[in-house]
Amino acid sequence: MISGPSGAGKGTVIGLLRARLSGLSLAVSATTRAPRPGEVDGRAYHFLSREAFERDVAEGAFLEWVEYSGDLYGTLRREVVDKLAIGLDVLLEIELRGARAVHEAMPEATLVFIAPPSLDELARRLRGRGTESDEAVARRLAIAAGEIAASGEFDHVVVNDDAERAAAELAEIINAERKER
């Protein structure tokens, strides 16, 4: 499981990682937030209405789900189980509460926290997206401070001060885990 604050560069690092290692599959999360420019349903996220998301929760379709910054996010059980069944290593890009829930359900999972080099850099990255209001950025920064404080719960912490270096470090972690199996 890959976790870390919004804006830490999780998606960038995962993209670089997947170019380095084979046998990896990214579980596509579901969300009720609106797509950002360029995001495609089923690739970036499964974009669901709040009603559809809540129906799937009631039906037990999620391995975990949370409300984060006013929107619902979750990991569809089938996104993990189906891929594990065919022998793939499954990456989950997930927020802190979701990581805790999945780790409780799957204690064998490896937890990696992607940390920004600093809160100032994180603020710069979030504002640089140009996709959120100042209030939304402030909310995300407040949440990030708590997430960073919890990074000690993870098996590994990778500081994303350089995405290529962080991806190489993450590849080393995964290769070491594969050798232990």
Q: Would you state the pLDDT for residue 130?
A: 79
Q: Which residue has the higher pLDDT, 114 or 180?
A: 114
3-state secondary structure of 102: helix
Tell me the Ramachandran region of residue 26: left when phi exceeds 0, alpha when psi lies from -120 to 50, beta otherwise: beta
Q: Would you state the pLDDT for residue 175?
A: 95
Task: Give residue 61's pLDDT band: very low, low, confident or very high (50, 70, 90).
Answer: very high
Give the separation between CA 140 and CA 122, rounded to whole angstroms.
Answer: 10
Mean per-residue pLDDT, 29-53? 95
Q: Would you state the pLDDT for residue 140?
A: 87
Q: Give me the residue label for tokens 């609106």.
A: 34
Task: Give residue 125's pLDDT band: very low, low, confident or very high (50, 70, 90).
Answer: confident
User: Please, what sign has the CA dihedral across residues 112, 165, 116, 38?
Assistant: negative
Q: Would you state the pLDDT for residue 95?
A: 83
Hey, what domains does the chain have and what are their CATH numbers? 2-180 (3.40.50.300)
